[in-house]
Amino acid sequence: MVYFYVGAFILCILSLIWTVILGFNQKHESGRFSDSKMKFVLLTSIYLVVFAIASIAVGIYLRMV
């Protein structure tokens, strides 16, 4: 059970770090803040979806056990 919690937590942290890195890369490459801001918001929403899916998966696993 603990491994699933740790795995979900690590997955979410990696997604957040990846989102921040891509956001900063877009900001430096394009130089247009509006475009990078939209991409950053999109990637952040993807991170939240991944977090929700991981949480649901952990909940389903704990119910089955």
Q: What is the pLDDT of residue 56?
A: 79
Q: What is the pLDDT of residue 34?
A: 61
Contact 19, 46 (CB under 8 A): yes
Q: What is the pLDDT of residues 6-63, one digit of tens each?
A: 777 777 777 777 777 766 666 555 555 566 677 777 777 777 778 778 777 877 887 8
Please write down the long-range contacts of 60-64, taking CB distance under 8 Å and 24 or more positions apart: 61/1, 61/4, 62/1, 62/4
